[in-house]
Amino acid sequence: MDNVNPQGPDPDRQQEKDVKYSAVIPVYNSADVVGTTIDKTVGFFESGNYNYEIILVNDGSRDGSWEILRDKASSNANIIAVDLLHNYGQHTANLCGFERATGDYIITLDDDMQNPPDQIVHLIDKAKEGYDVVMGRFNQKKHAWYRCWGSRLIAFINSRIFLQHKGLVLSNFRIIRRDVVDRICAYKTTYPYITGMVMMFCSRPTNVPVEHKERQSGKSNYNLRVIIKLVMRILFNYSSWPLRLVTVFGLIISIVSFLLGAYYLCRGLLSSVTVPGWTTLVVLVSFFNGITLLLLGMLGEYLIRLINQTSWSMPYHIREVAGADE
């Protein structure tokens, strides 16, 4: 006689099988390590008997990364590989993965094994408590000094623009519930910033401690130029801070100019002035012209981005898709 469990199948385990997880991994020039990242991620999901899919987005790599992604997708029905036409940036690549993900939860991680895939279990366990976004809080970051300072600057900006919850640490190693991802995908923008959009469209974010490893090989693509571009994207696409700052500065300069003009007017009326004041005139004209050019340049930056936003329907273009019946 068969040994039948009188309680029937475990309802919690059955519910776990009904939940699907989508792992989105942006890839850029990581041919030497991305294969290991994929294998470790697959190993984590397979060992836990999870219902999963992995979406690999090649963000214009030039080192043969795409060939590796395509091979992995052809050998595993749970892997989809997307090859973007150009290098659009990590956040745009993540958005591409979000729009193709079908899971109830979407997990984002880097391609360089600094986010060990076995740490995903901590994100999943915390998300089961009812949080709609769970971000990994690294016990000790293994980044270069300029990246750490850049992260602090961006965190400061995030706290002011996106009203980041006090004490919440933002990171790219996170799990996001489906409804939050749907809101992100519905937000049409040519310059996506996933971290800020997550803050805009979630209500219960939290952190969970996770490990952070040294990069196994190569060097990080997150350099000073990328940090500056990201800061520009946040400031000019998700806030009016630069415009307000220049407006306040212009107001202060206008008041100072009015007082200075009143001073010279009174001095000219009440006393005999023999000095022509040529130097003062040149300095003031040059200064105010510089302020005007600065303001015009900032307005031009906003105008260019508005034109791109209204005239370009997609923030990225796809060259090829491999896996999941292409």
- Per-residue pLDDT 10s for the chain (326 aa) are 344 444 444 445 445 668 999 999 999 999 999 999 999 999 999 999 999 999 999 999 998 899 999 999 999 999 999 999 999 999 999 999 999 999 999 999 999 888 899 999 999 999 999 999 999 998 766 555 555 666 677 777 777 777 667 788 888 999 999 999 999 999 888 889 999 999 999 999 999 999 888 766 656 666 677 778 888 888 877 777 777 777 777 777 767 766 766 776 676 667 665 556 655 675 676 667 667 767 777 777 777 767 666 655 678 889 999 986 66
- Decide if 316 contacts 92 (C-beta within 8 A): yes
73 and 139 housed in the same domain: yes
Beta-carbon neighbour count of residue 319 at 10 Å? 12
Amino acid letter, residue 185: C
Residue 47 is part of a domain; what is its CATH number?
3.90.550.10
176 and 34 housed in the same domain: yes
Beta-carbon neighbour count of residue 145 at 10 Å? 7
What φ, ψ does residue 51 adopt, rounded to 5°?
-85, 115
Q: What is the pLDDT of residue 185?
A: 94
Query: What is the C-alpha to C-alpha distance for residues 262 and 20, in angstroms, rounded to an integer?
Result: 71
Half-sphere exposure of 69 (CA within 13 A, CB side): 31
Q: What is the pLDDT of residue 142?
A: 55
Q: What is the pLDDT of residue 106?
A: 98
Asked if the structure places residue 228 within a domain, the reply is no
Asked if the structure places residue 149 within a domain, the reply is no
- Decide if 172 contacts 109 (C-beta within 8 A): yes
27 and 94 housed in the same domain: yes
- Decide if 96 contacts 60 (C-beta within 8 A): no
187 and 124 housed in the same domain: yes
40 and 177 housed in the same domain: yes
Structural domain including 298 reads 241-311
62 and 113 housed in the same domain: yes
Say how many domains are in the chain: 2
193 and 251 housed in the same domain: no
182 and 266 housed in the same domain: no
- Decide if 50 contacts 82 (C-beta within 8 A): no
Helical segments of the chain, H only: 11-18, 34-47, 65-75, 90-100, 120-127, 145-161, 178-186, 194-201, 224-238, 241-270, 278-311
What φ, ψ does residue 84 adopt, rounded to 5°?
-80, 155
190 and 266 housed in the same domain: no
247 and 207 housed in the same domain: no
Token digits of residue 240: 């009016």
With 0.85 as the threshold, say if the pTM is over it.
no
Q: What is the pLDDT of residue 303?
A: 77
134 and 45 housed in the same domain: yes
181 and 251 housed in the same domain: no
Q: What is the pLDDT of residue 157?
A: 77
Q: What is the pLDDT of residue 2?
A: 41
Query: What is the C-alpha to C-alpha distance for residues 170 and 196, in angstroms, rounded to an integer?
Result: 9
